Structure 1
Amino acid sequence: MELEDVPGVGEKTASALSQLEDPERALREGDVAAIARAPGISEGRAAAIARGAIRRQHGDDGGFLATDRAREIYRDALGLLKERAETDYAEKRLETFYPSVAPSRISEVREFTRQAIKREPDPAISTALEGVQPLETPSPVRVRERSLATADAERYAAAQRRFPELSIEVIEDRQDVAELARSYSTVIVLDEAFAGMDVAGDVQVRTDVQLGSESDGRSVDLETTAEIVPERLLTFFAHNRGALQAALRVHEAADLEPAVDPERLRGALSQVDDDGTVVGDGELDRLSRAVDDLDAAVGTAESVANDHLRAAIGERDVTIEGRDFLSLVEQGARVDSLLSRELHEEYEEAIRKAREHLADALALSDGEPELAERVFGGEPTFPVERNEEAVSRLRTELSAARDRRAARLKSELAAELSALREPVETLVADALELDVELAVSRFYREFDCTMPTFLDDELGDRGADSAESPGIEVVGGRSPLLDVAFESVEPVDYGVSGVTLLSGVNSGGKTSTLDLLALLTILAQMGLPVPAEEARLRRFSGLDYYAKSQGTLDAGAFESTLREFGELADGADGRLVLVDELESITEPGASAKIVAGILEELDRQDATAVFVSHLAREIREAADFSIAVDGIEAVGLEDGELVVERSPVRNHLARSTPELIVEKLAGESDAAFYEGLLEKF
């Protein structure tokens, strides 16, 4: 699939999509989360791209919804589905569902729906889903103790793109590498020409590092990335910790088999701090504390030594009074010879205590105490002072040990996480897709839905245009789009074949019947369940739904409306046409003739049409063929309110509201006036 062949994908978007691991798979499967990982593409934009790719795959031009009212019903239906999703992702993913004319697309979604409605919604799953979101790639974290080096200009540019976390350096010879080794804990040289060189420090020569895009070899690339810049994987898992833990909870609540071992993932996550630092290693913690506490520990050790000497000098009986001696010392008198002669043992003891305190305070181990010994010692002095060069050396050694330990732990943990990188994507994707399924399942259950039957499939070779086949037939249909609680909606039974006029009293439910037919058709051709006990329909080539006009149109608008119906009449084959009181566009007499002409043309084509009209008699008289007239009948008035039978009666011209009122008055009075009026209906 050429990316730019997808509707709505231009050169810039195609370039962004090409950076995905497998853009064709993402487009083919409508994977909104994967598409949204492309640079600069939001989830909303990803949903539109996925929808365009699906349409292209099924050869669908997307023109099923031909009018504003049809598109409005679709948006309302989609809104009902999205309201039942827990995650933003599921809402966007549901936007890839649309009414299609392609049997392959409808069948694809119907299979998805059959699996979805088997899912049992559970509050525990819903709660867990609240924390799930598509995995994100965090911004690169600058790594200052490691660098890459190369003598090749192209390799240098590629390395900058591939490893933005690291410093990339240009080298010419061994001396340049040696200089870098003094500035960085680790230097990774990318040129084979430098192999075998002997340079002090941690210098590695790697010729296996891939510098192309991640799609050049993802599995190998992840392994190499874990070795070169493990911080990338660590920050990825740290950044997505909440989503990963929530996805695990979803799988557990839904009793699904996760793509990754939960204990292994939880164990790995417990070793990463929120900033991507490895935690839980005692030795690393010791070294980190030693580096952080070094200055304070050295200062305290100085105090320990000086307090010991100060006490010893104050109590010692020497050639001069101890207090006088102390006073001289504090005034800066030279005392090294005096200390050496008179207080040699006390000085050695003070130095021992200082060294011991420093070693204990920093929890030094192995050869580290030897470095600490150099901090104090040498010629006797008072006050005892640290050896700054030795302190600096100790700090350098401790920092290097800490960094080496951290680097090793990062590499080891990143190596483990690299094996989990792709499985966790599947883990989260499965949880998000479950939310999509559960949204459909909730819709199915809350609105008492059923899977509709397509007459094209049921009739086989006889075809949906067979005389025994209606265009659409519903039993117990209830619209969730009405402004009343769904439980209060009266069910409707209705079937339409060919061209039909629908008559009935005002507020009797004619418009809501059209809405129901439109909703059922849209949902069915989306591949989704419909709110009815039973529903059978043909697979329509399009839906034209014209809402009621607000008042008589002026000449220009009237002409525009006629042009619109003229275009419809030229291509109505296989379409469902719903029209609500078209007569309101002009005078009643002219309206009846216009509607009759439109119906004549639709009848000559293979269209299914329902026209709501109060001019059924006039239209039938003006038409050159026998038009079927159905009626939503009001069975009477009760306390001034109409009592209506909501299901249309086939081949029945419904009585109007005025006729019912006149009939009521005639029954209540002996006046001949009302009887005369009633005879005129």
Structure 2
Amino acid sequence: MDLESIPGVGEKTVRALSELDDPERALRAGDVAAIATAPGITQGRAARIARGAIRLEHDDPGDFLATDRAREVYRQVLSLLKERTVTEYAAERLETVYPSSQRSRIVEVQEFASEALEREPDPAILEALEGVEPLRESGDVRVRERCLATTDAERYSEARQAVPELSVEVVEDAQGLAELARGYATVIALDESFAGVTLEGDVQVRPDALENPAEVVPERPLSFFAQNRDRLQAAVEVHRAAGLEPSCDLEALEDGLSRLAEDGTVAGDEELDRLTTAVDDLDAAASAAESVANDRLREAIREQDVTIEGSDLLSLVERGAGVDSLLSRELADDYAAAVEAARDHLVDALDLDQGEAEIARRAFSDEPTFPVERDEDAVGRLREELTAVRERRAGRLKRELAADLADQRKGARDLVRDALELDVELAISRFAREYDCTMPEFVDSEAREQTAESSKTASPSRGSSEAASRLPSSRDDGETANMSDDAVGFAIEGGRSPLLDEPLEAIEPVDYGVAGVTLLSGVNSGGKTSTLDLVASVVVLAHMGLPVPAERVRLRRFDDLHYHAKSQGTLDAGAFESTVREFADLAEGGEGSLVIVDELESITEPGASAKIIAGILEALSENGATAVFVSHMADEIREMADFEVTVDGIEAVGLVDGELEVNRSPVKDHLARSTPELIVEKLATESRETADTNGGTATATDGATDPLFYDRLLEKFE
């Protein structure tokens, strides 16, 4: 895949994508999480890039949604899907699912959606998904207690590039190594020439160190796992709750994570914890030991009478002696006991082993002083020893843990990706279940065989008791079900518009099918616009490759969707001209188009509107497009058209308590009665009933109107 050919991808983005391990795989798979790991690319940007790559892969012009209203319907149904995601990733990933005219793309998503419909959105899975996020790359890791050493300048440059986490030092000989060993806990010599040299400290000769940097800097992989501990653990829980086949050994991964602290250090090792605590508490413990010695010594002085002969005192003063000499002479045993107590306290407080204890005891001298003070040099040596031992043990444990986790890294990535992709599938499954969806059937000749095969394996998710496919439908009691494959534009059975702000059970199912060009008539507030929204949402979802909210749907594969919403008032001359030009372009090249128009007559005065609409319908009919025009002027348009225009009607059964009672499914080849006609008919009926009650007459004095007046008005509608 030529990255520069992806729509919306420039040179800078190409350079960023090139840093991915396998950019082509990520782009072809729409792997938003992987793409978002490229430098400077956000998750939202990654979704747009993935969408562009998919378009390129399927040679998709990306212009299926041809009007603002069509795009608005797409955003509305997409929002319904995104609302049913748990993770931000899944919401962004759904942005890569868009309506397409390309058969290959539709089939690709249908296969994915068919598998998604098999998923049960168990609450335990959804809860576990709340902790899953795309993995973060570890930031800059800097290790200060370890360094690399070499005598070669070229090797030096290579080491700095391969292992930026460590300092790299140039030395001339073994003496240089020895000096480094006094400043670092571990020195790793890269030159073979140092083999066999014995030096104090932890000096390792490893000429192959740059071949496997993770062994030299285990902090690198450990940092990755430490930053992603919670995300990985959540992904593990998702796999267990959903029964997914894991891409790695879950127990081994959990064991490794349990031994890893949040800061990337090894956790759970008692000896390492002891050494770490000893280093951290050394100063406090030394101060406490001083206090122990001084408290003991003060108490001894208080309890003991010290007698000094005058000649002895004079002698001591002449020699410049002070309190220390007096302590040495008179309180030598007490001082020794106090110092020993200080030493014991320091050893016990830090839980030192025998070798460490010998160093610790040097922190308090046998020479009497008051107050007793620690020897800072001895404390410093103890700190160096403890730190060196700690770092050596930590390094070994890190290497062991890094080795255990190294083989899990790719599997861990796949584990999280699979959990995130499951959220995408569950969103589709939840949408399908909540809106009682089924997979649509495309009937154009090239897609018919593939779609029929897909429909056999797709579960419409109408609850666990209805998991089997519902295509083809067993219903054949309506016009839509009996349309031939060659004639069908779209045929919807039991459809419920997801765009209605009503509970699903409150929405009356609609059956409607159109082949060719059709006018849709009906009473005000009878459901004409919601029927158009149903058709648009079904067509958009079908061309996204997703299930649709209906019992059964059959449709052709359209090149584009032109949905024109009802105009708000008459257009001015410029806007009117623009609208007519748009329909002129559509009439010339709209053979594979679906055109949905809501009351186009509102763009100008009624007489002119009927003529213009009739002309547009003629052109669309000649071009082989599929079109539904809602109009209150169906009769006038039909008279002006030079071909037999099909007129369907959403029929009002009548008025009940002042409210329309409507059959929401359009009746084929039927011009629906208008609301005014129904009201006049209601008034005529009531007037006749009043006249019958009054003995066949009606007068102005009794508040009744002559039924003949209403009958005369009704005749005008015939």
- What TM-score, normalized by structure 2, do the two folds share? 0.86
* TM alignment of 1:86-101, pairs within 5 A: 86-101=86-101
Aligned to 1:216: none
- In structure 2, distance between residues paired with 1:587 and 1:387: 104
- What is the SS of the residue equivalent to 1:611? strand
Supply the distance in 2 between the matched residues of 1:151 and 1:549 (Cα, whole angstroms).
81
Aligned residue among 210, 216, 224 for 1:228: 216
Distance in 1, Cα, partners of 2:129 & 2:425? 12
Alpha-carbon distance change, 511 to 191 in structure 1, aligned in 2, over 3 angstroms: farther
User: Paired residue for 1:573?
Assistant: 591
1:676 aligns with 2:712: yes
**Which of 348, 351, 372 matches 1:363?**
351
SS of aligned partner of 1:53: helix
- Residue in 2 that maps onto 1:624: 642
Change (3 A) 1:610 1:185: same
Residue 672 (structure 1) shift: 2.2
In the TM superposition, what whole-angstrom CA distance separates every residue of 1:504-547 from its partner, at most 9, and x where no partner exists? 11111111111111111111111111111111001111111111
Match of 2:37 in 1: 37
Q: Is the 8 A contact 2:588 2:623 kept in 1?
A: no
Distance change >3 Å, CA 459–CA 52, structure 1 → 2: closer
Matching residue within 282, 285, 294 for 2:282 = 294
- Structure 1 stretch 242-251 or stretch 333-342: which is displaced more? 333-342
The 10-residue stretch of structure 1 (370-379 or 670-679) with the greater mean CA deviation from structure 2: 370-379
Whole-angstrom distance in 2 between the partners of 1:277 and 1:485:
53
Map of 1:401 onto structure 2:
389
Post-superposition Cα deviations, 1:168-216, rounded to whole Å, max 9, x if no partner, equal 4455666655443333222345566766666554344555456xxxxxx
Q: Which residue of 2 aligns with 1:549?
A: 567
Alignment of 1:520 with 2:508, yes or no, is no
1:281 to 2:317 alignment: no
Correspondence list, 1:338-417, <5 A: 348-377=336-365, 379-381=367-369, 384-417=372-405
> Once structures 1 and 2 are overlaid, which stretch shifts more, 163-172 or 604-613?
163-172
Question: Structure 1 residues 65 and 166 mapped into 2: Cα distance closer, same or farther (>3 Å)?
Answer: same
Q: Does the residue aligned with 1:495 lie in a helix, a strand or coil?
A: strand
Give distance in 2, aligned partners of 1:174 and 1:152.
14
1:18 is aligned to: 18
- Provide the C-alpha distance between the structure 2 equivalents of 1:161 and 1:437, rounded to a whole number of angstroms: 42
Q: Which residue number in structure 2 is paired with residue 139 of structure 1?
A: 139
- Aligned-pair distance for 1:401? 0.9
What is the CA-CA distance between 1:550 and the residue it aligns to? 1.2
Distance 1:78 1:154, change over 3 A: farther
**Structure 2 equivalent of residue 642 of structure 1:** 660
Q: How much has 1:310 moved relative to structure 2?
A: 5.5
In structure 2, the partner of 1:258 is: 246
Q: What SS does the aligned partner of 1:95 have? A: helix
Which amino acid letter does the alignment assign opposite residue 286 of structure 1? R
| Separation in structure 2 between the aligned mates of residue 558 and residue 383 of structure 1, nearest angstrom | 101
Structure-1 separation of matches of 2:565 and 2:110: 29
Q: Is the 8 A contact 2:339 2:366 kept in 1?
A: no
The question of whether the paired residues in 2 share the 8 Å contact of 1:499 and 1:609 is answered with yes
Note closer, same or farther for the CA distance 1:180–1:660 as it changes in structure 2 (3 Å cut): same
Q: Alpha-carbon deviation of 1:426?
A: 1.3
Q: 1:301, CA displacement in angstroms? A: 3.5
* CA distance in 2 between partners of 1:91 and 1:72 (Å): 17
Partner of 1:2: 2
Rounded to whole Å, the distance in 2 between the matches of 1:200 and 1:285 is 25
Aligned position for 2:499: 481
Cα distance change, pair 568–192 in 1 and its aligned pair in 2 (3 A): farther
Classify 1:563/1:350 alpha carbon distance in 2 versus 1 (closer, same or farther; 3 Å): same
Q: What CA distance in whole angstroms lies between the structure 2 residues aligned with 1:232 and 1:348?
A: 50
Equivalence for 2:690:
none
Amino acid at match of 1:493: D
Deviation at 1:360, TM superposition (A): 2.2
Q: Distance in 2 between matches of 1:608 and 1:158?
A: 67
Equivalent residue for 1:245?
233
Contact 2:592 2:625 in 1 (8 A): yes
Aligned-pair CA distance for 1:342: 6.5
Q: Aligned partners of 1:173 and 1:182: how far apart in 2?
A: 15
Deviation at 1:49, TM superposition (A): 0.8
Change in CA separation of 1:161 and 1:379 when aligned onto 2, cut-off 3 Å: same
- Alignment equivalent of 1:587, drawn from 594, 599, 605: 605
Q: Against the structure 1 CA distance between its residues 269 and 321, is the aligned structure 2 distance closer, same or farther, given a 3 Å change threshold?
A: farther
Report the Cα offset of residue 383 of structure 1. 5.0
**What are the within-5 Å matches in structure 2 for residues 405-444 of structure 1?**
405-444=393-432
Instruction: Tell me the residue number matched to 1:72.
Output: 72
What is the rounded CA distance, in whole Å, between the counterparts of 1:550 and 1:121 in structure 2? 42
Look up the equivalent residue of 1:429 and give its one-letter code: R
Cα drift, residue 72 of structure 1: 0.5
Deviation at 1:46, TM superposition (A): 0.9
- CA distance in structure 2 between the partners assigned to 1:405 and 1:266 by the alignment: 22
Q: Which residue type is aligned with residue 614 of structure 1?
A: H
CA contact (8 A) 2:162 2:213 kept: no
Cα deviation for residue 479 of structure 1 reads 0.4
- Quick one: distance in 2 between partners of 1:154 and 1:519? 65
**SS of equivalent to 1:482:** coil
1:293-334 CA-partner distances (Å, limit 9, x unpaired): 323333444444455556666667877379x98xx89x9835
Q: Aligned partners of 2:710, 2:330: CA distance in 1, in Å?
A: 139
CA distance in 2, matches of 1:671, 1:581: 34
CA 1:311–1:77: 2 relative to 1, 3 Å: closer
Amino acid aligned to 2:569? G
Q: What's the offset of the Cα at 1:100?
A: 1.1
**2:442–2:448 CA contact under 8 A, matched in 1:** no
Question: Shift in Å at residue 409 of structure 1?
Answer: 1.5
SS of aligned partner of 1:367:
helix
Percent of pairs with identical residues: 68
Q: Which runs of 5+ in 2 are unaligned?
A: 453-482, 688-705
Contact 2:156 2:170 in 1 (8 A): yes
Q: Distance in 2 between matches of 1:28 and 1:601?
A: 40
Alignment check: 8 A CA contact 1:455 1:469 kept: no
How many pairs were matched up? 664
Given that 1:375 and 1:387 are in contact with CA atoms closer than 8 Å, whether structure 2 keeps it comes out as yes
CA gap 1:513/1:307 in 2 versus in 1, 3 angstroms: closer
CA distance in 1, matches of 2:685, 2:238: 66
TM-score by length of 1: 0.90
Q: Which moved more, 1:299-308 or 1:424-433?
A: 299-308
Aligned-pair CA distance for 1:66: 0.6
Q: Distance in 2 between matches of 1:337 and 1:107?
A: 99
Unaligned runs of 5+ in 1: 211-222
Alignment CA distance shift 1:119-1:182 (3 Å): same
1:447 matched residue in structure 2: 435
